Structure 1
Amino acid sequence: MEPLMDRVLREWRGKRVAITIGSEHSFTGILEDFDGEVLLLRNVVDVVGNRGKAMIVALEDVSWIMLLE
């Protein structure tokens, strides 16, 4: 049986998501790819409006992920 996290993230690939890292830093971006260790987001925006082209974040550092679209 496929882990729930993998199944959900596969469905969300290519869609805009919001994530919180360590309960303090929030970001939105398009979920580009993932594996068992990291998430890759494109077109990233943080809570104060700073923008980036891409961000890699360790999955263990993510508090929650929300689908925005």
Structure 2
Amino acid sequence: MSEEKVALLDKTLEKWKGKRVALAVSGDHSFTGTLEEFDEEVIVLENVADVVGNRGKSLIVKIDDINWIMLLE
């Protein structure tokens, strides 16, 4: 990823920290949760739910595997 794209991603995710987001992983699975932490490689969500209602306390996703991410609140 280019430096400019990383800077935009970092800037956006920093604003979204602590808020509910939805994301799609590898085009097959969608999750919602609270964005807790991120770095150049991974995003960590807390209080996670998937599209069929399964719930979990935490989810770690590689940024390269994310198709899209949306701010919910």
TM-score scaled by length of structure 1: 0.97
Answer yes or no: is 1:63 the counterpart of 2:67.
Answer: yes
Give the total of aligned pairs: 69
Shift of the alpha carbon at 1:55? 0.5
Distance in 2, matches of 1:30 and 1:62, equals: 16
- Report sequence identity in percent: 58
* Moved beyond 3 Å, runs of 4+: none
SS of 2:15 mapped into structure 1: helix
**Which ranges of structure 1 fall in alignment gaps of 5 or more residues?**
none
Aligned to 1:48: 52
**Which ranges of structure 2 fall in alignment gaps of 5 or more residues?**
none
Answer yes or no: is 1:34 the counterpart of 2:38.
Answer: yes
Q: 2:8 aligns with which of 1, 4, 16?
A: 4
Distance in 2, matches of 1:14 and 1:44, equals: 13
What is the one-letter code of the residue matched to 2:41?
A: E
Distance in 1, matches of 2:53 and 2:72, equals: 17
Structure with bigger helix share is 2
Distance in 2, matches of 1:8 and 1:62, equals: 15
Question: Could you say what the CA RMSD is over the residues aligned between the two structures, in angstroms?
Answer: 1.2
